[in-house]
Structure 1
Amino acid sequence: MKYLRIFLLFLILSDCAVGQNLSSKIAKIKADPAYKWGEGSGYTLEEADKEALENLVRSVSVSVSSSFSQQEAQMAVDDESLFSENIESRMKTYSFATLQNVGQIILSEENPAKIFRYISQSEIDKSFEARQDRALSFVNDANKALKSAQIGDAIKYYYWAMVLLNTIPNGAAVKSRFEDGSETLVYTWCHDRICRIIDDLTFEVSDMRQSPSYSTVVFDVRFRGIPVADLDFQYWMGQRYSPLYSVKDGRGTADFEHLSEGDRLKLKIEYQYAHIAKNLDAELRGCFETDVPAFPLGNIQKFVPVMIQKNEQEDKAVSGRKSKKKENSATIPETQDDLRISAYARNQEEEYEPVKFATPLDETPYREIMRRIEAAIGQRDYESVSPLFTPDGYDMFNKLVAYGKASIVAAPHYRFIQFGDEVVCRSIPMQFRFRNNKVFIEDVTFRFDKDGRIDSIAFTLPDSIEALLFDAGFRWNNHSRLLMMEFMENYQTAYSLKRLDYIESVFSDDALIIVGKALKTGAVGRMDTPLFNDPQVELTRYTKAEYIRRLRSSFASKEYINIGFEDIDIAKMTKGGEIYAIHIKQYYHSNNYADTGYLTLLVDMRDSAKPTIHIRVWNPKKDPNFTALKFLQHGATLLD
């Protein structure tokens, strides 16, 4: 009994000593100006921690408020009482996920729970610096996108750079140095850049198609005369704006119940892309979900008269004639001012000579079949054309017309290419509308087997990638060009149409499947590979079974999926046949998730009927030192 009393006394004294040490530590932190802190209490530890973090953010807000100019922080708000509230909203964008090395001391676990949170000023400064660096990286991404007429991406990245700069002290004063040695205020320059891009956009009505219930207007969308690769917009419906509509390869659409030639349409260009930002990472999500005041961009509207423009469609990549680069893969014309502020190297105009492909000896039967397909889609009489398909082809056709409400948006201009025993027909321009009125435009390719029946269907690749594959300067034989085109189109379409059977068949049983996740600043990834070793990206490996199981669950939760590709880098083995490394920028959109990242594949296409993916890596960040050739050299050892 005596020893038990001594033991209990020891425990009590130990608890007192620990409590005194904690109290001493907290007192030192509170007295040290190099730290910011916050305390919280609540019925649970979670409630107490939330309040402590909110008070910590409020403390940080007070400390940095002098770094925001009154004019900058009020953002045209005349009520001076809103100044501190404005600053606090900006600091909340850092909150829990982006501030690093935030200390925590639990003072009590119940009755009530109490928590003390603290962070050093040096860690706060690191967070501000990291956010500034990311804003500047968005500017670089926007500059590159503008060169490829990816106008939606350019506007999006310029705006996101402004959003991030708006949440750091002295963000409006951040400067960047350009190639000629001059400097400019990045925030102001991005604002001006977006406005000028929108000013230089043109929309012209190129076609108008009538249906019993509505009219579909087809727009020819250009930036300084070049077809726009991507862009989102809304149009005025009389009482409200429409949901977002998308432009792809210079073509956009809008649907109206009542419309006639001579009407004037009002469009609004999307520039925030908040639905994508919120899914990209915690940092951007925090910026868009707090009450940081928005900043107007001036006139983001376009007014378009409904006057049908009779433009002759260019025959793409089959005529063999020598021409300039395809329009939407050419360099954007620059004004003298653009030359001064461009932070990227100017691409030189090059001669583009498309390769010659074999064509069927008689296109007439294929054209007749395609006319019957057009009629079936227009009349929604799909069963009437089932004899024109193989069983697999008809199954894909049914999935296609079930991919949203399908309609043809413009008169097709067919091209037929002989590919071994197959005939490839490119393409029918189609619009797909979903329940939330989200609309995608896709050109649809049909492939005929040796018996003249349609055996497969796919969404075509973007014009910019087709221009690369079909450029005579790209030294591949025509078989390899068409093989790569067919594989990439099948791959992107399989995800869009949720063809789990195809995806499962195309991966080898022992495929190396790696998915990357961007980490918050300061965290370190847990998996390393010779080629993918960014410490700010966590890499997770999956077996084929695990990957397919995750896909099945993901597909079931989504009304639609739309995959887009840009900026492809391909390497082909010089010996050993059709083995390829593909590195490509991928856009993923669905009704409940969206992201942008970089897809890398090692594909064995020696058996052209059964391509096999041995390695698949998805990475949220682009490694400037990474190339498809490096990946091929490392990955091909798996095939030895």
Structure 2
Amino acid sequence: MKRSAFAIITFLFIAFAAKGQSIEEIQTSKDYIWGTGNASTLKKADNEALAALISQISTNVSSKFEQLTEGGTNGDQATVDETFKSVINTYSRATLNNTRRIVIQNEPEAVVMRYIKVAEIQRIFDGRKTKILDFAQEATRAEKKAQVADALRYYYWALVLLQSYPDGNFLTLKDEDGKDLLLSTWIPKQMNDIFSNLKVSMESTHLDGDLKTINLRVLYKGQPARNYDYTYFDGRDWSNIFSAKDGTGIVELPVLANARNLQLRTEYMFEGEANIDNELAEVMGTVNPISMRNCALKLEGEEPKPGEEKTEDVQLANADSAATTNSGMRFLSAMESAAYEDAMKKVESAIRTRNYDGIQSLCTESGYDMFNRLIKYGQAKIVSEPQFKFLECNGEVTCRSLPMSFKFKSNQRTFVEDVVFTLNKEGKIDCLSFGLNKPAVDDIMNQTSWNDTVRNVLINFLESYKTAYALKRYEYINSIFSDDALIITGSVLKHTAANEGQPMSKQAVKYTRQTKSEYMKKLQHIFRSSEFINLRFADNQVRKSGVGGEIYGIQIKQDYFSSSYGDTGYLFLMVDLNNPKEPVIHVRTWQPEKDPNFGLIDLSHF
């Protein structure tokens, strides 16, 4: 129950007598901003004190938010009709970690004061500035790799956060040439350029009962879009969100519906994913949405008849002789791959017809278990005619790949994954995984100084790691972590001065650790409570350590989605491949964002 102003004054008077002049000095000094709260518990009183402090901070910085009072859109410059006070309120308790607290009176009639030095107010905004610039830089990198969904998502999120930053209309980012880019005008221009370079056409049609699936070809600047999110109007309503991968997407319509002039709308707000970042979600719930009118486009071409293929891409010729890399890996020739192709055609037919009677004979025991988990994961369905390619390395054959769509009852999203099959020497399916996108594979394959076995193992390892969480393979995850693994699920990172170019010392980082058993116990609970888990790797970089033999550091921009939780951040894995058949993770760290002082944890920390 809120108390009267008279009661608060009484409490303050008592506190002054008990604490000397400290509280009075804070309240009368121009060097501090403060707020008080009173409630039946300390926690509630503290929350009220923080709210009062935020209100005072908003008054203090109001002049810097005057540019936010204009509504609407002015050309490429987006503004929102929001007062600075509501924007300041998006700075959460976690953001206000440099405020101080005085308990004036304890429960049951608690009174709390929160205060901050005026000189430290800018520190409140520094974290958000870092996040805005980080999002903009991530978007730029994603656009260069044709990762359309990632680029638009980060551009829009940066644009939204810009509305909550003091002098946001004047914040700039330096480009590769050192030129300052005004984010408030540059970001909308970048987004409109992406919209204008998209082309979506119909490739093939498949019938499935009273529904038909039309496979789409999604090109960005003439190349397959590595990812792309969209909705479409089916004549009655807009669909849920669909996600295309590596140029392949789908639309699902009633059999009698005509896809001619079907309208698509490119997803760019990603409101459903914003909850992976509490700060972002709060801002998006506060400011007005920014409308991008150029996000709509039409499907090109006529709807293909069932069984008819329409594609503009040049098909790869099947060579009669094997293509060999500079060492051990090689693509099998048509003759060598015939038996494997026959097995994969049976798998394809079984999934399309939902008749799995003969599958067990094509798999090892572990392969059959993974197949069953995969089919049960998200109503799996093949979305286009696969073009199987078989890569042999050290007696194992990898088949890339079978494109499939997945969706869940509790998540309004349909997404496409390339399912990769690993076959043993006897030609039986031993493992299934969700494939990495092409840029991620290329980053590893282009490391020509590494031997082929290592490159192949790294790709398989990352794909298996990603898939293990989706298919809840607890035993596999437990097996790949060393017993003494350093696992950091949250961290407080502090930087100490070091000479430029020198690696950071271990003492420069303060870790919040979990043991392997603690991590696995928590993971087991997550698996039991989640209908689905989906890891999305927006980017990855792999580097070799200079010591320890075949030790590799893997940095991944990871989005984690489940039916009950979501987050986004940077995953780092230090993996030991000295025994390539048994990769071992010695270090796993996760950062919600780049540290403003040193960026990301990497091999130099260990």
Out of 53, 66, 73, the residue aligned to residue 69 of structure 2 is 73
Larger mean CA deviation between 171-180 and 222-231 belongs to: 171-180
Residues 219-238 of structure 1: pairs in structure 2 closer than 5 A: 219-238=216-235
Shift of 1:387: 1.4
Shift of 1:270: 2.1
Output the CA distance in 2 between the equivalents of 1:590 and 1:112. 41
Out of 469, 490, 494, the residue aligned to residue 464 of structure 2 is 490
CA change 1:213–1:484 in 2 (3 A) is: same
Shift of 1:397: 0.5
Shift of 1:423: 2.6
The amino acid that maps onto 1:249 is: D
Output the CA distance in 1 between the equivalents of 2:529 and 2:382. 27
Output the CA distance in 2 between the equivalents of 1:182 and 1:576. 42
Indicate yes or no: 2:303 matched with 1:307.
yes
Larger mean CA deviation between 614-623 and 242-251 belongs to: 614-623
Indicate yes or no: 2:436 matched with 1:461.
yes
DSSP-derived class of the 2:489 partner? strand
Indicate yes or no: 2:437 matched with 1:442.
no
DSSP-derived class of the 2:288 partner? coil
Out of 496, 500, 506, the residue aligned to residue 480 of structure 2 is 506
DSSP-derived class of the 1:196 partner? helix
**TM-score, normalised by the number of residues in structure 2:** 0.84
Larger mean CA deviation between 99-108 and 370-379 belongs to: 99-108
Give the aligned partner of residue 192 of structure 2. Answer: 195
Instruction: Tell me, yes or no, if the aligned pair for 1:570 and 1:629 is still in contact at 8 Å.
Output: no
Out of 333, 357, 364, the residue aligned to residue 330 of structure 2 is 357
Give the aligned partner of residue 403 of structure 1. Answer: 377
Instruction: Tell me, yes or no, if the aligned pair for 2:443 and 2:541 is still in contact at 8 Å.
Output: no
CA change 1:110–1:416 in 2 (3 A) is: closer
Shift of 1:374: 1.2
Shift of 1:571: 4.1
Give the aligned partner of residue 554 of structure 1. Answer: 526
DSSP-derived class of the 2:154 partner? helix
DSSP-derived class of the 1:384 partner? coil
Give the aligned partner of residue 116 of structure 1. Answer: 113
Out of 150, 154, 176, the residue aligned to residue 153 of structure 1 is 150
Shift of 1:36: 2.8
Give the aligned partner of residue 284 of structure 1. Answer: 280
Give the percent of matched residue pairs that are identical in Structure 1 and Structure 2.
35
Count residues with an aligned counterpart.
572
CA change 1:532–1:261 in 2 (3 A) is: farther
Output the CA distance in 2 between the equivalents of 1:475 and 1:317. 28
Instruction: Tell me, yes or no, if the aligned pair for 1:98 and 1:520 is still in contact at 8 Å.
Output: no
Shift of 1:567: 4.0
Shift of 1:18: 5.4
DSSP-derived class of the 1:456 partner? strand
DSSP-derived class of the 1:438 partner? strand
Larger mean CA deviation between 261-270 and 402-411 belongs to: 261-270
Instruction: Tell me, yes or no, if the aligned pair for 1:52 and 1:116 is still in contact at 8 Å.
Output: yes
The amino acid that maps onto 2:289 is: A
Output the CA distance in 2 between the equivalents of 1:628 and 1:17. 53
Larger mean CA deviation between 256-265 and 217-226 belongs to: 256-265
Give the aligned partner of residue 100 of structure 2. Answer: 103
Give the aligned partner of residue 29 of structure 1. Answer: 26
The amino acid that maps onto 2:297 is: K
Instruction: Tell me, yes or no, if the aligned pair for 1:354 and 1:470 is still in contact at 8 Å.
Output: no
Output the CA distance in 1 between the equivalents of 2:115 and 2:551. 54
Shift of 1:405: 0.2
The amino acid that maps onto 1:359 is: L
Output the CA distance in 2 between the equivalents of 1:286 and 1:213. 41
Which consecutive residues of structure 2, in runs of 5 or more, have no partner in the other structure? 1-11, 74-79, 305-309, 496-502
Output the CA distance in 2 between the equivalents of 1:568 and 1:400. 24
CA RMSD of aligned residues (A): 3.6
Instruction: Tell me, yes or no, if the aligned pair for 1:100 and 1:123 is still in contact at 8 Å.
Output: no
Output the CA distance in 1 between the equivalents of 2:493 and 2:289. 27
Output the CA distance in 2 between the equivalents of 1:172 and 1:222. 33
Shift of 1:364: 2.4
Out of 289, 293, 296, the residue aligned to residue 298 of structure 1 is 293
Shift of 1:170: 2.0
CA change 1:159–1:319 in 2 (3 A) is: farther
Indicate yes or no: 2:410 matched with 1:413.
no
CA change 1:509–1:63 in 2 (3 A) is: closer
The amino acid that maps onto 1:315 is: L
Larger mean CA deviation between 135-144 and 234-243 belongs to: 234-243
Output the CA distance in 1 between the equivalents of 2:470 and 2:317. 25
Give the aligned partner of residue 575 of structure 2. Answer: 603
CA change 1:209–1:62 in 2 (3 A) is: same
DSSP-derived class of the 2:380 partner? strand
The amino acid that maps onto 1:304 is: L
**TM-score, normalised by the number of residues in structure 1:** 0.79
CA change 1:561–1:220 in 2 (3 A) is: same
Output the CA distance in 2 between the equivalents of 1:498 and 1:492. 10
CA change 1:520–1:74 in 2 (3 A) is: farther
- For residues 108-159 of structure 1, the C-alpha deviation after alignment (integer angstroms, 9 at most, x for no partner) is 3357433333323222222234423432232222222221112222222222
Output the CA distance in 1 between the equivalents of 2:374 and 2:457. 22
- For residues 543-579 of structure 1, the C-alpha deviation after alignment (integer angstroms, 9 at most, x for no partner) is 2222211111111222112223354433457998755
CA change 1:210–1:111 in 2 (3 A) is: same
DSSP-derived class of the 1:115 partner? strand
CA change 1:86–1:357 in 2 (3 A) is: same
Give the aligned partner of residue 128 of structure 1. Answer: 125
Which consecutive residues of structure 1, in runs of 5 or more, have no partner in the other structure? 1-14, 78-82, 323-351, 522-528, 635-640
DSSP-derived class of the 1:299 partner? helix
DSSP-derived class of the 1:98 partner? coil
The amino acid that maps onto 1:311 is: E
Output the CA distance in 2 between the equivalents of 1:511 and 1:310. 48
Larger mean CA deviation between 16-25 and 223-232 belongs to: 16-25
Output the CA distance in 1 between the equivalents of 2:505 and 2:241. 38
Shift of 1:41: 2.9
Instruction: Tell me, yes or no, if the aligned pair for 2:423 and 2:429 is still in contact at 8 Å.
Output: yes
DSSP-derived class of the 1:38 partner? strand
Give the aligned partner of residue 348 of structure 2. Answer: 374
Shift of 1:611: 2.8
Output the CA distance in 2 between the equivalents of 1:383 and 1:513. 42
Instruction: Tell me, yes or no, if the aligned pair for 1:161 and 1:187 is still in contact at 8 Å.
Output: no
Shift of 1:259: 5.5
Shift of 1:532: 6.5
DSSP-derived class of the 2:472 partner? coil
CA change 1:611–1:534 in 2 (3 A) is: same
CA change 1:318–1:51 in 2 (3 A) is: farther
CA change 1:31–1:420 in 2 (3 A) is: closer
Residues 465-480 of structure 1: pairs in structure 2 closer than 5 A: 465-471=440-446, 474-480=448-454
Output the CA distance in 2 between the equivalents of 1:377 and 1:238. 30
Instruction: Tell me, yes or no, if the aligned pair for 2:15 and 2:104 is still in contact at 8 Å.
Output: no
Output the CA distance in 2 between the equivalents of 1:113 and 1:627. 42
Output the CA distance in 2 between the equivalents of 1:316 and 1:278. 45
CA change 1:23–1:209 in 2 (3 A) is: farther
Out of 248, 270, 275, the residue aligned to residue 273 of structure 1 is 270
Output the CA distance in 1 between the equivalents of 2:85 and 2:141. 34
